[in-house]
Amino acid sequence: MGRTSDGKERILAAAQRLIELRGYSALGVAEICKAAGVPKGSFYYFFDSKETLALAVLDEEWHAQHRTWDAILGGGDGPLQRLRRLFEATEAAQRAGQHSCGTVAGCLFGNLTLELSNRTELIRTRLQEIFDAQVAMVEGVVDEACDRGDATVADSNEAARAVVAQLEGQLLFAKLYNDTSRLEAMWSNCLALLGARGPRRIAATSS
């Protein structure tokens, strides 16, 4: 069963799935290894500790999400249209997750921030880097939108943080109510936060 060849990837995949469903603290190494189909002894061959594994899970998840965000936000349409597609992709991913495992998992980064950031500085720092990067990506789009006159904000970094905070807050509700339709409000809230409210103009160009 290739315990050294693909054992690490299997542990990572199992941990990502289990952490998403049940959080970090409730999981034991034995359970992760069982789900990954690898002997428990091999865990410490790949990872120093459960914390090291959590960091690796965060890196894997961010690597994939960054690629998606980059493709969407760096696309060819108008800036607000790209932002809208980011929300649609987020909603679609949550819906697919709910379809496959029965519950809305929410955002792994938000989940681990609230569960762990006060308990381990390594994980706190990594999560800060991830959210800083998310905000910077959104900020670039907000700047573009402002340059085109599609948005009006006093401070584009602050506005980007408000958009990411709104995303996290609505993902929290989607998880709490196990209802992805909660996410539909994100777009109009985002427009309001970016001073792009009332723009039938924007609504028209984005459809």
> Which residues form the interface with its own copies (CB under 8 A)?
21-26, 103-106, 110-111, 113-119, 124, 127-128, 131, 154, 158, 161-162, 164-170, 172-173, 175-178, 182, 185, 188-189, 192-193, 195, 197-198
C-beta of 18 vs 38, nearer to its own copies: 18
C-beta of 38 vs 55, nearer to its own copies: 55
Q: Minimum distance from CB of 63 to its own copies (Å)? A: 20
C-beta of 140 vs 195, nearer to its own copies: 195
Q: Do 156 and 146 touch, CB atoms closer than 8 A?
A: yes
CA–CA separation, 150 vs 132, rounded Å? 24
Q: Minimum distance from CB of 6 to its own copies (Å)? A: 28
C-beta of 4 vs 188, nearer to its own copies: 188
C-beta of 38 vs 141, nearer to its own copies: 141
Q: Minimum distance from CB of 154 to its own copies (Å)? A: 8
Short-list 114, 72, 121, CA closest to 92 = 72
